[in-house]
Amino acid sequence: MTLKKIVPFEISYKTVNTLNSIASVFLYLSTFLSLIISGLDYLTNVGSLKTFLITLNSISIVLFVFFDARASYIFTKAEFKRRLDYMDNSFGINFSGKRSQSYFTNDNVSPGFYKLCVNCFENSYHTDFIISKMFPKVLFQTLIIVLLFIISAYFGNREIVRMFFELILPLVLIQKLIKMIFFTTKISNVLNSFKLLFNDLMSLKIEDKMPDALRDILEYETTLSWASMPLETKIFNTYQTQLASDWDELKKEYNIKVE
């Protein structure tokens, strides 16, 4: 009988996805309004309409920043719950108060430090895969929207207040893109470190590699905390079967077994 999948912190991640979707709506709305406002600069007798649209655009940008920041805050809290659950599953304890069921896939490994390493290896593999799928979309979105804002600024009259608000969005998007570039690189390095670790563990005991394992675990968790970047659930759901199959093959390659 298959246990029902229970993930206590899943609701928090769903809230983050909802807030990010709302933020995206205001992002696209602001981009559209900026282009409309720039076009109005070449028309006459539209002063009141232009003022209204500039006000609406400024509100849209403020709301985008608010929902984006709120999503980041809730994501940070969700990550704390995930880490507690991750410790519970790895060591067979109950720090979180309500443990997940059928969430981790390494039940064949006995609780302990070795299982902690296996779970983190799997997490880093999943994160590396999903972030690589997210990157092209984020890059395309950032380049297109920044380009549209540059066009808007070039063809529109450069009012100081309007420029102040409109510059916020491109700067936020560029910052996110730069963070994702570093995030992708750092997670890839962590995954490679775990591969080296489990390659060594094929002939050594976990006690012999404990410092290396702790380094990799801490590097993974601190990278997630630094980036504070939610992974797209849609991508995970799309590739879930493939990820599970590939992870099983990876466990066979590195002879990950009951300890």
**Element (H or E) spanning 108, and its range?**
none
* Structure confidence by residue, pLDDT tens digits, 193-229: 999 999 999 999 999 999 999 999 999 999 998 988 8
The two tokens of residue 46 are 């539209």
Is 45 a domain residue?
yes
Q: Give residue 182's domain range.
A: 10-253
Is 5 a domain residue?
no
* Structure confidence by residue, pLDDT tens digits, 167-187: 677 788 888 899 999 999 999
| Total domains, the chain | 1
Helices (H) and strands (E) in the chain, counts: 6, 0
Q: Which residues of 9-42 are buried (b: 16+ CB within 10 A; e: fewer)?
A: bbebbebbbebbebbeebbebbbebbbebbebee
What is the rounded CA–CA span in Å between residue 199 and residue 196? 5
Is 126 a domain residue?
yes
pTM for this prediction = 0.82
Is 116 a domain residue?
yes
Is 113 a domain residue?
yes
